[in-house]
Structure 1
């Protein structure tokens, strides 16, 4: 016999799936089948494309920035099929953030394509014009708790990002990435069919 908590969870999930269909689907750029959005803090649906079976957890801030100071932007946030996001995502986008199919994002992760310059010492940093560079996260990735994905980052297919990492730069497919700043620790070798240790640039240390 199912517990009262299980039944409440089933009802809750059905409610938010129905709300996605009856409410968010009219405002998002595009929304696939079977999507669910749980109690977001901030969401700008007209900047978001969602594929099938996308799930966004509680207290999400997914924000397309259309204007900052005098500059106008056209943000594109693309969450491809099967993307799952746990609670407290903080995603801000003024140009482009793309998350690949079946990528799973754990709690308290931040992702942004925005940089706040500090060049002019006579203007507060928050008041200077922002700079943008697209972010791309490949298919089948796992991003663990409290990680920060910075402007211009490119992450390949089937990569895992260690908890509390600060990620900036370009990373190839099939990598284990962790640290502050994040570096490649391991990469899958198709020659040996095993995950092998690498240097920070992803070159194998052993074959």
Structure 2
């Protein structure tokens, strides 16, 4: 049994370790974690850049930023409930919120003010405050070469296929096939690429 499994199997120890890493009621790790642990645990590729972003990343889950990728100012990256992987040559634009588990591929463009959260809060027991109910996680995957336009929302469990476009303001609640354009709330595929005709064709909904 590894260290992580031993901590998770002992509720009292898990609570103590959690308090040592994160102040009670907060998501941001303590300063000593940022300075003394995270730089040695998480991976950053050559030429990667991080602006004035809020990195709520903790050592018990992974955070990898690929080579020549950029996280711009006012972003919030959180791996508290799941790993966050960002590939090579990928742009995470101004004001993005990325909450793991999330995997983003290579050559991906996230325009400003996108929310991608692999986390949901349980709410169905009306006798318990939502904030005290368990969290539910389901990985988001954005495959290579995608463009996610401004103000979009990507919900837990969704996969966006290779070389797809999500239009501005879309709310993606279901997976998008590769080589597709999706728009709306909830997002629907409006175009796909026809490799026989070598052109984008409209989808009748």
TM-score range, shorter chain: 0.7 to 0.9
Q: CA deviation at 1:123?
A: 1.3
Which of 171, 182, 189 is the matching residue for 2:187?
182
Gaps of 5+ in 2: 1-35
User: Counterpart of 1:126 in 2: which secondary structure?
Assistant: helix
Which of 100, 116, 137 is the matching residue for 2:121?
116
What's the Cα RMSD here?
A: 2.0
Q: How does 1:37-186 map to 2 (within 5 A)?
A: 37-44=50-57, 46=59, 47-66=62-81, 75-93=82-100, 96-186=101-191
1:101-124 Cα shifts (integer Å, max 9, x gaps): 000001100001111122101112
Gaps of 5+ in 1: 1-22, 67-74, 201-207
Structure having the larger proportion of residues in strand:
1
Q: CA deviation at 1:177?
A: 0.6
User: Counterpart of 2:191 in 1: which secondary structure?
Assistant: strand
Distance 1:199 1:124, change over 3 A: farther
Do structure 1's residue 191 and structure 2's residue 204 form an aligned pair?
no
Question: Aligned partners of 2:89, 2:38: CA distance in 1, in Å?
Answer: 17
> TM-score under structure 2 normalisation?
0.77
Q: CA deviation at 1:25?
A: 8.2
Structure 1 residue runs of 4 or more that deviate by more than 6 Å after TM superposition: none
- Contact 2:58-2:80 at 8 Å conserved across structures: no
User: Counterpart of 2:73 in 1: which secondary structure?
Assistant: coil
Distance 1:97 1:56, change over 3 A: same
